[in-house]
Amino acid sequence: MTELRPLPTAPLPEDSQGDAPHVRVAVIGAGFAGLGMAIRLKQQGIEDFVVLERAGEVGGTWRDNTYPGSSCDVPSALYSFSFAPNPGWSSSFSPQPEIQRYLRACTRRFGLRRHLRCHHEVLDARWDGDTMRWVIETTQRQLTATVLVSGTGQLSEPAVPELPGLDRFEGAAFHSARWEHSRDLAGARVAVVGTGASAVQFVPEIAEQAAALHVFARSAPWVLPRSNRTRSAAERNAYRAIPGLQRALRAAVYWGRECAMIGFASPRVMRMAGLAARLHLRRQVPEPGLRAALTPDYTMGCKRVLRSSDFYPALRRPNVDLVSGPIREVRPRSVIGVDGAEREVDTIIFGTGFAVTDPPVARRLHGRDGRLLADRWSPRAQAYLGTTVAGFPNLFLLLGPNSALGHNSVVLAIESQVEYVLDALRTMDARGIRSVEVRPGAQSAFVAEVAARTRHTVWATGGCASWYLDEAGHNTTLWPGFTSHFRRLTRRFDPDSYLLRAPADAELVGAGS
């Protein structure tokens, strides 16, 4: 693996009084969301902003997920900014190193280095109603901002199950997003926990190295074949020479993915689509017993639909053991499954996803009344358009509750929300507004609309538990509709849905809920 040198960053300038520095916009996170926000700020002529990144490098999830076989399961044509197309993707589905290089290239191309503050993890941020500013504490220092944009995303904090005895395990144990590359798996005895989007990519890679590989699966995933075609040099050159050709490809892929929403909205249609996945399973797994263990007992789409053409063959290898059910207990040199069998292992790898419904950033943001966002979101995370939260002035979330996508590229949702934030900034400038705060009534109406749209989708009726839903079964993650509709909702900032405060006002402008 090529070692990437950290991007240089500039220090935060002191203000004229020597107080904590102040910026118009502070962006948390330098992944797709944070960088997309930063690029569009610069394109609009806004230079007074910083991007606060806890790590020493940009990339977010594509910086962290360096496990063997890591790649995107969304076609390359869609997995890039619309305002920064990449004609150089090497294949239909981009591998992790290429996506990371793309984000680094965007950082250089759009001049973001002087705005980037690496190793500035946000520890606390509080809204000061007197100064109408966000007071932000990072691991490096304090600063203030008029507007705070959280671009931490939903896949930033690994989720590791609490297994009895894990603390006494004498071998290596790590999450796929924190892969220990120094660990040599050749000849190792490995237990993999989970069969989600990451596991289906790294299991085939390590199955070729490990002496024994035990894959613990709570439930079988739905898997479709993945045709990852290599792009020729001539094809890449054509995209460079004819930008319209790449835009046409992007449009074709977009509408193909968008039509998939029809199936997610109708379990009956999705059951028909599941025939392709069943055929893929039958073709790749002829053994009746293993095929039965790999047949899902819930409607396709209820959990994330996976794409792989080498996961099933990997499970058929003589050194690989599929164990239905979770690990019951961990011992110093072994694991015990629910079947009661003890399996000796020296490495445990967790492919168990991320803390999506309980993001760590929510435990660091304090709103107008001093209340934590995490408390405001207990027992249910709510936001207006997945972007703003009642009680939190001048706070904008990218990929907040109910803005992620289960059928299309999440970059589309990010760009929609970024444009909404930009229009909010323009509105504040035009009207001389110091703060905007969504009305509780507008937020409640949006949450009710999402619930109504979710009610008959496969996510709610598919018969499974997934990271799309919180513990109470509420969809707090996905936008349950077409991306075209979400784009229309976020195309313009809607001041009537907000409480507005002007510089000289002591009270919020506009009454009502």
Question: Which domains are delineated in the chain?
Answer: 22-157+356-501 (3.50.50.60), 166-229+237-350 (3.50.50.60)
pLDDT of residue 3: 34
Cβ-count burial of 139 within 10 angstroms (0-12 exposed, 13-18 middle, 19+ buried)?
exposed
Quick one: pLDDT at residue 422? 98
Which positions of the chain have pLDDT values less than 70?
Answer: 1-19, 503-513
What is the number of other CB atoms lying within 10 angstroms of the CB of residue 45?
6
Q: Which of 431, 401, 457, 465 minimizes the C-alpha distance to 150?
A: 401
What's the pLDDT at 468? 85
Q: CB–CB of 51/115 below 8 Å? A: yes
Choose among 87, 53, 63: nearest CA to 1: 63
What pLDDT is stored for residue 461 in this prediction? 86
State CA 147 to chain mean position distance. 22
225: cis peptide before it, omega within 30°?
Answer: no
Residue closest to 156 by CA, chosen among 38, 64, 37, 36:
64
Q: Output the pLDDT for position 49.
A: 98
Question: What is the structure's pLDDT at 243?
Answer: 87
Q: How far is CA 277 from CA 69, 259, 266, 314, 408, in A?
A: 22, 18, 17, 17, 19
Q: Give me the pLDDT at residue 156, please.
A: 75
pLDDT reported for residue 368: 93
Cβ-contact 359, 157 below 8 angstroms? yes
The pair of structure tokens assigned to 190 is 């490995």
Query: What are the DSSP calls for 162-194, one per residue?
Result: --TTGGG--SEEEEGGG--TTS--TT-EEEEE-
* Rounded CA separation 411/396 (Å): 17
Instruction: Tell me if the pTM is above 0.85.
Output: yes
Residue partners of 367: CB distance under 8 A and separation at least 6: 127, 373, 376, 389, 391, 392, 393, 395
Q: What is the C-alpha to C-alpha distance for residues 125 and 23, in angstroms, rounded to an integer?
A: 14
How many beta carbons lie within 10 A of that of residue 323, not counting itself? 20
pLDDT single digits (tens) 390-402: 999 999 999 999 9
End-to-end CA distance of the chain: 54
Cα 38 to Cα 101: distance, rounded to the nearest angstrom = 17
